[in-house]
């Protein structure tokens, strides 16, 4: 039954993915409507929580309405929600968690799916969104909606605002990047060199002011130079399947999510180095994680959503430490599966997220102390066809057992290049010394890659990415074959000598050598 339930959960997860991918912006019918009225039904208060996660579920009065995007601000959390039933419509909701959790409808568009994301300009307070080919905003001070510019040739996809309050957007249909500058009426588009690039995420966080975007269909990252307005493309290695969302840190390193695998990674344009890191080890028969939204908080810590696992990940690139928070499922007798599409850091150390399938928003409180700690070597090597081990030290301030395991990149897992093993640790006291184990396939490629060693308690997981170098097994095989040849040759010489001695014995009446003497004479030390 467990395997059947897991298969059903995977089918449900795939349906969510297909539903998400098939949703494209549609040109609006009629005028934009906005009102600061309470949502038709209050949110349900019986939302699940954990030590780290608090959730707020939309009312069951409309089971087709799901939150897609969250954008937290100091005063409220802005939520883009889509109704997938009939009639379909889009809403932008203003959520205030205190004193009483409450959703208010700010924008409602019947027969329309808006752009793939919304974004907020902290300087003007405008909430920007796309409606088909039109760019629009909601003004918090007046409660009015206003369209400002059209982008012929392609509906607006993902949006971002730069430090000058300019709005940038990916235009997937037009294969272009769009720009709207409030100081200069009109719009500008910049065509991407590679056709049918499948434009997705876009960011204006680079320290040099450049605009970076993801070309998912062709496995590239693009950079638009703010001075020359030229576009440079960078092709990812073959094991990067679908770079989808991205963000640039203070050092100019681009971090991306690979939304076709269980990996995230980075690209350093200064050195040309690409890195790919698997998310933490997952207990049981887990679906592919599909990391999606990715962003940096004020401390330069990386946060991302694991779409099909219902997990919010945090990666500290300075410490090389990955922490993952599991979103609790609501209590129910029906089969439920998460679809955590989006996450975004907000004030007060709260990391907000939206879950399409569970129809809820929520936050991770990153200020809550974590009872798990793990230490391990940051580098290791193993031979093709060999066994590998990583000594680790686990610290746990809680009670009960924890699970220790290793995860590998989706490429290594899919091609059976690295196979990881897991075990439960139930020591009398912590800290405990343990060994994480893995097996390297004979056909594993000779290159460095990352594996992630993880310890978890079912609610939270802490991991360390370890750089693993796979070494050739040819030398070992060659030595073994050489020693075997020496043994065979020695054995043949012994057989020939024995026959000569037997012939001599028959002539002279002497005895032949015993099997024990023969074995001792052909033995060798490698």
Cβ pair 340, 353 in contact under 8 A: yes
Backbone angle region of 309, left / alpha / beta, with phi > 0 → left and psi within -120 to 50 → alpha: alpha
Q: For the ranges 46-60, 74-88, 468-482, which has the lowest average pLDDT?
A: 468-482
Is-cis flag, bond preceding 431, omega within 30? yes
pLDDT score at 421: 83
92 is written with which tokens?
């932008």
Beta bridge mates, 202: 213
Is residue 223's pLDDT more than 60?
A: yes
pLDDT of residue 100: 87
pLDDT of residue 449: 94
Q: How confident is the model at residue 63 (pLDDT cuts 50, 70, 90)?
A: confident
Of 101 and 428, more confident = 101
Greater model confidence, 254 or 332: 254
Tell me the backbone φ, ψ of residue 18, rounded to 5 degrees.
Answer: -65, -40
Mean pLDDT of 159-179: 95
H-assigned helices in 315-459: 410-414
Both tokens of 508, joined, read: 């002279």
**What three-state secondary structure class fits 392?**
strand
Residue with tokens 């379909």: 88
pLDDT in tens, 67-81: 999 999 999 999 999
Q: Given the structure tokens 């576009």, which residue do they identify? A: 231
For the segment 16-20, the average pLDDT, to the nearest whole number, is 40
Sort 479 into a burial class: Cβ within 10 Å, 0-12 / 13-18 / 19+: exposed
**How far is Cα 46 from Cα 62, in angstroms, rounded to an integer?**
17
DSSP string covering 79-134, please?
EEEEE-SSS-EEEEEEEE-SSS-EEEEEEEEET--B-S--EE-TTT--EEEEETTE
Judge contact between 378 and 395, C-beta under 8 A.
no
Q: Which carries the bigger pLDDT value, residue 496 or residue 213?
A: 213
Phi–psi pair at 39, nearest 5 degrees: -55, 145
pLDDT band at 58 (very low <50, low <70, confident <90, very high): confident
pLDDT confidence tier of residue 334, bands split at 50, 70 and 90? low
pLDDT at 361: 96
pLDDT at 441: 93
Least confident span in 15-19, 72-76, 377-381: 15-19
Rg, the chain, Cα only: 29
- Of the pLDDT bands very low, low, confident and very high (cuts 50, 70, 90), residue 526 is very low
Asked if residue 394 lies in contact with residue 402, where contact means CB atoms within 8 angstroms, the answer is yes
pLDDT at res. 483: 40
The helix/strand/coil state of 136 is strand
Tell which residue, 460, 417, 200, 235, has the closest CA to residue 328: 460
pLDDT at 467 over 80: yes
At residue 474, the pLDDT reads 62
- Residue 512 near residue 501 (C-beta atoms within 8 A): yes
Of 242, 178, 168, the closest CA to residue 209 belongs to 168
Which has more confidence, 496 or 440?
Answer: 440
Residue 523 has pLDDT above 70, yes or no: no
Distance CA 337, CA 358 (A): 7
Q: 394-435: per-residue pLDDT in tens?
A: 999 877 789 999 999 999 999 889 988 888 888 778 899 999
Higher-confidence residue of 18 and 318: namely: 318
Tokens of 323: 């922490």
What's the mean pLDDT when you consider all of the chain?
82
| 112, 128, 156, 169 from 26: Cα distances, Å | 6, 17, 10, 16
Task: Tell me what pLDDT residue 245 has.
Answer: 98
Count of all residues that appear for the chain in the document = 526
Q: Is the peptide bond before 99 cis (omega within 30 degrees of 0)?
A: yes
Across 14-28, 167-181, 424-438, least confident range: 14-28
pLDDT score recorded for residue 115: 86
**Predicted local distance difference test score (pLDDT) of residue 61:** 66
pTM of the model: 0.84
Task: Say which residue the tokens 């793990």 belong to.
Answer: 374
Task: Give pLDDT, residue 43.
Answer: 53
Query: How much is the pLDDT for 302?
Result: 98
């Amino acid at each position: 039954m467990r395997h059947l339930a897991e298969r059903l959960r995977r089918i449900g997860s795939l349906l969510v993915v297909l539903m998400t991918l098939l949703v494209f912006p549609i040109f609006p019918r009629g005028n934009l409507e906005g009102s600061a009225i309470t949502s038709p039904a209050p949110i349900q208060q019986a939302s699940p929580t954990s030590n780290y996660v608090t959730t707020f579920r939309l009312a069951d009065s409309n089971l087709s309405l799901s939150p897609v995007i969250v954008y937290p601000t100091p005063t409220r959390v802005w939520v883009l929600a889509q109704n997938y039933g009939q009639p379909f419509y889009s809403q932008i909701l203003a959520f205030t968690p205190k004193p009483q959790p409450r959703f208010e409808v700010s924008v409602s568009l019947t027969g329309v799916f808006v752009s793939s994301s919304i974004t907020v300009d902290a300087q003007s307070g405008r909430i920007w969104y796309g409606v088909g080919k039109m760019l629009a905003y909601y003004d918090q001070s007046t409660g009015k909606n206003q369209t400002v510019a059209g982008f012929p040739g392609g509906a607006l996809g993902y949006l971002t605002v730069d430090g000058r309050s300019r709005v940038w957007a990916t235009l997937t249909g037009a294969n272009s990047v769009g720009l709207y500058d409030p100081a200069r009426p009109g719009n500008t588009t910049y065509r991407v060199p590679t056709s049918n690039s499948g434009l997705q995420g876009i960011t204006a966080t680079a320290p040099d002011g450049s605009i970076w975007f993801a070309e998912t269909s062709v496995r590239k990252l693009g950079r638009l130079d703010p001075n020359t307005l030229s576009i440079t493309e960078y092709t990812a290695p073959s094991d990067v399947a679908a770079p989808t969302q991205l963000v640039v840190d203070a050092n100019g390193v681009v971090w991306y999510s690979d939304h076709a695998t269980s990996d995230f990674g980075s690209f350093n344009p200064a050195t040309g180095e690409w890195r790919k890191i698997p998310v933490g080890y997952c207990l049981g028969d887990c679906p592919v994680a599909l990391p999606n939204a990715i962003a940096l908080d004020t401390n330069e810590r990386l946060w991302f959503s694991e779409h099909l696992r219902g997990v919010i990940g945090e990666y500290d690139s300075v410490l090389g430490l990955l922490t993952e928070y599991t979103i609790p499922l609501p209590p129910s007798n029906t089969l439920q599966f998460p679809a955590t599409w989006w996450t975004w850091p907000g004030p007060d150390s709260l990391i907000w997220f939206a879950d399409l399938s569970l129809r809820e928003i929520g936050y991770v409180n990153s200020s809550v102390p974590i009872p798990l700690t793990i230490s391990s070597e940051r580098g290791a090597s193993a031979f093709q066809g060999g066994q590998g081990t990583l000594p680790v030290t686990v610290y746990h301030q809680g009670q009960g057992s924890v699970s220790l395991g290793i995860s590998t990149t989706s490429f290594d897992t899919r091609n059976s290049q690295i196979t990881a093993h897991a075990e439960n640790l139930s020591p009398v006291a912590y800290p405990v010394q343990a060994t994480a184990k893995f097996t390297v396939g004979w056909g594993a490629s000779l290159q460095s890659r990352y594996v992630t060693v993880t310890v978890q308690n079912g609610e939270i997981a802490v991991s360390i990415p370890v750089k693993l170098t796979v070494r050739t097994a040819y030398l070992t095989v060659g030595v073994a074959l050489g020693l075997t040849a020496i043994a065979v040759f020695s054995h043949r010489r012994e057989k020939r000598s024995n026959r000569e001695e037997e012939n001599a014995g028959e002539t002279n009446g002497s005895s032949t050598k015993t099997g024990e003497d023969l074995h001792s004479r052909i033995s060798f030390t490698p």
